[in-house]
């Protein structure tokens, strides 16, 4: 298709020049790492082994900690890593139906095993931002000749408002190392065609499988946008399609075959395996709220360091008032700069594709209906079609702001590099000065996007019973019921963190995640049973419900059916008096105090009688 003009130079090897380039690259990576560390700086200052974002192991952050702890321990003990009955006992848990981050968990296994899953999570946040920026920068070296231009592009792609907001909760969404590589391989397959089609196809297929084991959602959106880019390429350069088609077709067939061979089992587990979920895993009503508003692109939220109160009063209530999903902001200055780059270098292939794909992602991020200041304009949008596609029925439109940031980073890098190479008329001749002007313009556009980091963090407050080793008295492989019991419909999943810190030695009743209900569809929490219902009353601060002899027998029967051997009640949890009263009445005896928890041990023998 459209040819890329390149020049080949035969030059003498200059070791000092190579050394300078290596040092410059190292400095760029170090800068990315430093910025990534700033994101959850509180954790590193207050103690990365005991501090987490978002209030200490509650919600999605605690789930990610559990995934990081579960995977290496399961590999060591020869357990399954895609499904398990060690969580949500006695039913089970499908990790592929949830955000399991299998590949990052394997990569971080040494950190997890040596320093624990909390440190691994805090390190993962830093590496996710820095790794995404570094890979994007290295890919941009294909399209730029000046390292500072590629550095700025990686900076915008990895630290955009969309990435910064999602990083507060969703680790699986900010590991954006695969999409830039997909762009690189597709460029080779469709345009340059300098390598063997089968090798490129194998590489693309393996990249897709790797992305599946990081985030199936990102894989789907990446595939969707890659399709948009391919269609745009064929339409914009129709004359070259025929000559490039044979090699491209062979590579894409090999890619599909490679993906089918390597991803078949994880996909089967996700769609048809034990404890898989049919239909949307999120409520469609909830998902529809997570769509960008027109104002989201031009007005900052409180997620930005520079955010006037008059603006945040409007924007913080958009996208379902969910700040973690409200990351579409680009700012007027950056939008104008990107528009000028697209217009000035509109004949450059990478600019054409980045503009089309980025614009399509921005349009899709607006959801099924166009909204302005939170009000629907009743104008149907393309995401209404996308949301009805298989496997995309649970996608959140607002998350497509992440690839918008990637495309914006590509355009900004190309603009800076081209300005340096070509200048701008007689007033700004080509050269270093023009490049510096480009970087200065980029800085004026990006300063408005600086996130209001560090993230809010808090101590995990892990009970001394688990952190001090007393929990070793729990029998290996036995089932534990905790209060609070982890459920996705409540903000309590600390017990998953405790289980991960205890090396997944015992099974845990309940789970934070998507589990199938009786009809196979997601019930988004523990099945409606008596004990969870009673404990839900306690979490509201109400007094303990009166247990009749019949209810007491049903509680004991449920504990026996779940094979519960130990009950652990944490005293620092609201409603502890209520929970303690329920089990004391049901079991006919008080719990034993061990460190800072109340424990019922050896229950299986007593419940069996």
pLDDT digits (tens, 9 = 90+) for 452-510: 999 999 888 899 999 888 999 999 999 999 998 988 776 678 899 999 999 999 999 99
Residue 59 Rama label (left phi>0; alpha psi -120 to 50; beta)? left
Q: What is the pLDDT of residues 303-331, one digit of tens each?
A: 999 999 999 999 999 998 999 999 999 99
pLDDT band at 277 (very low <50, low <70, confident <90, very high): confident
What is the rounded CA–CA span in Å between residue 210 and residue 564?
Answer: 37
Residue 376, burial from CB neighbour count under 10 angstroms (0-12, 13-18, 19+): exposed
Residue 488: its pLDDT value, please?
A: 78
Query: What is the share, in percent, of the chain residues with pLDDT greater than 70?
Result: 95
Query: What is the share, in percent, of the chain residues with pLDDT greater than 90?
Result: 78
Residue 5: its pLDDT value, please?
A: 43
Residue 606, burial from CB neighbour count under 10 angstroms (0-12, 13-18, 19+): middle
Mean pLDDT of 361-390: 94
Mean pLDDT of 353-380: 96
User: By C-alpha distance, which of 170, 178, 77, 179 is closest to 121?
Assistant: 170
Residue 83: its pLDDT value, please?
A: 96
Do the beta carbons of residue 138 and residue 29 sit within 8 Å?
Answer: no
What is the rounded CA–CA span in Å between residue 506 and residue 512?
Answer: 17
Q: How distant, in Å, are the alpha carbons of 187, 219, 229, 242, 399 from that of 353? A: 11, 19, 6, 19, 20
Helix axes 401-422, 178-187, angle to 10 degrees: 60
pLDDT surpasses 80 at 348: yes
What is the rounded CA–CA span in Å between residue 134 and residue 153?
Answer: 10
pLDDT band at 583 (very low <50, low <70, confident <90, very high): very high
Residue 307: its pLDDT value, please?
A: 96
Highest mean pLDDT among 364-373, 509-518, 598-607: 364-373
Residue 435: its pLDDT value, please?
A: 97
What are residue 451's DSSP bridge partners? 304
Q: What is the pLDDT of residues 138-151, one digit of tens each?
A: 999 999 999 999 99
Residue 56: its pLDDT value, please?
A: 57
Q: What is the pTM of this model?
A: 0.94
Residue 259 corresponds to which tokens in the numbers above? 């993906």
Residue 103 corresponds to which tokens in the numbers above? 């590949």
In this predicted model, which residue has the larger pLDDT, 528 or 135? 135
User: By C-alpha distance, which of 457, 459, 503, 497 is closest to 65?
Assistant: 497
Mean pLDDT of 15-40: 93
Residue 13: its pLDDT value, please?
A: 58
pLDDT surpasses 70 at 11: no
In this predicted model, which residue has the larger pLDDT, 399 or 55? 399
Quick one: the chain helix, strand, coil %, rounded to 5?
Answer: 60, 10, 35
Q: What is the pLDDT of residues 265-275, one digit of tens each?
A: 999 999 999 99
pLDDT band at 9 (very low <50, low <70, confident <90, very high): very low
pLDDT surpasses 80 at 517: no
Average pLDDT, the chain: 92
Residue 595 corresponds to which tokens in the numbers above? 């460190």
DSSP code string of 99-159: T--HHHHHHTHHHHHHH-HHHHHHHHHHHHHHHHHHHHHHHHTTT-S-HHHHHHHHHHHHH
DSSP reduced 3-state for 522? strand
Question: For residue 312, what is the DSSP state?
Answer: H
Residue 10: its pLDDT value, please?
A: 44
pLDDT surpasses 70 at 523: no
pLDDT surpasses 90 at 18: no
pLDDT surpasses 60 at 95: yes
Residue 605: its pLDDT value, please?
A: 67
């Amino acid at each position: 298709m459209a040819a890329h003009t390149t020049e080949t130079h035969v030059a003498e090897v200059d070791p000092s020049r190579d050394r300078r380039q290596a040092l410059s690259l190292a400095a760029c990576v170090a800068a990315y790492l430093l910025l990534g560390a700033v994101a959850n700086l509180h954790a590193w200052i207050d103690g990365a082994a005991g501090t987490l974002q978002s209030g200490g192991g509650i919600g999605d952050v605690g789930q990610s900690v559990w995934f990081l702890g579960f995977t290496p321990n399961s590999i060591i003990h020869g357990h399954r890593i895609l499904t398990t009955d060690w969580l949500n006992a006695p039913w089970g848990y499908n990790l592929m139906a949830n955000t399991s981050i299998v590949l990052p968990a394997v990569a971080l296994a040494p950190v997890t095993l040596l320093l624990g899953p909390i440190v691994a999570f805090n390190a993962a946040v830093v590496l996710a931002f820095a790794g995404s920026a570094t890979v994007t920068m290295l890919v941009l070296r294909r399209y730029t000749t000046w390292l500072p231009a590629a550095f700025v592009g990686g900076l915008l792609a990895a630290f955009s408002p969309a990435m910064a907001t999602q990083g507060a909760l969703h680790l699986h969404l900010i590991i954006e190392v695969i999409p830039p590589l997909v762009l690189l391989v597709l460029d080779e397959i469709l345009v340059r065609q300098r390598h063997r089609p089968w090798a490129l196809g194998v590489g693309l297929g393996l990249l897709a499988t790797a992305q599946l084991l990081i985030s199936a959602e990102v894989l789907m959106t990446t595939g969707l946008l890659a399709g948009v880019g391919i269609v745009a390429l064929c339409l914009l350069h129709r004359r070259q399609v025929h000559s490039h088609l044979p090699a491209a077709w062979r590579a894409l067939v090999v890619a599909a075959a490679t993906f089918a061979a390597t991803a078949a089992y994880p996909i089967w587990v996700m769609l048809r395996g034990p404890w898989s979920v049919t239909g949307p895993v999120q409520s469609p009503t909830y998902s529809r709220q997570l769509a960008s508003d027109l104002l989201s692109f031009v007005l900052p939220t409180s997620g930005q360091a520079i955010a006037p109160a008059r603006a945040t009063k409007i924007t913080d209530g958009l996208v379902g008032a969910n700040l973690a999903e409200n990351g579409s902001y680009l700012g007027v200055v950056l939008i104008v700069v990107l528009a000028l780059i697209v217009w000035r270098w509109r004949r450059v292939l990478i600019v054409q594709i980045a503009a089309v794909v980025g614009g399509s992602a921005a349009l899709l991020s607006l959801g099924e209906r166009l909204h302005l200041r939170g009000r629907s304009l009743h104008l149907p949008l393309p995401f209404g079609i996308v949301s009805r596609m298989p496997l995309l029925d649970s996608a959140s439109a607002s998350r497509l702001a992440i690839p918008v940031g990637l495309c914006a980073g590509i355009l900004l890098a190309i603009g800076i590099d081209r300005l340096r190479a070509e200048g701008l008329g007689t007033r700004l001749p080509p050269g270093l000065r023009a490049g510096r002007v480009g970087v200065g313009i980029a800085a004026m556009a990006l300063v408005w996007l600086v996130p209001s980091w560090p993230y809010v963090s808090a101590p995990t407050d892990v009970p001394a019973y688990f952190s001090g080793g007393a929990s070793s008295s729990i029998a290996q492989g036995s089932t534990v019921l905790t209060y609070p019991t982890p459920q996705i419909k409540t903000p309590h999943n600390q017990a998953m963190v405790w289980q991960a810190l205890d090396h997944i030695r015992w099974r845990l009743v309940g789970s934070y995640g998507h589990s199938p209900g009786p009809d196979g569809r997601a019930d988004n929490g523990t099945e409606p049973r008596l004990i969870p219902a009673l404990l839900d009353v306690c979490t509201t601060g109400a007094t303990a419900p009166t247990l009749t002899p019949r209810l007491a027998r049903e509680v004991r029967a449920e504990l026996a059916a779940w094979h519960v051997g130990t009950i652990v009640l944490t005293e620092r949890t609201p409603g502890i008096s209520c929970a303690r009263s329920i089990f004391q009445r049901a079991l006919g005896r008080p719990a034993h105090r061990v460190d800072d928890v109340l424990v019922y041990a050896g229950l299986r023998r007593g419940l069996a009688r």
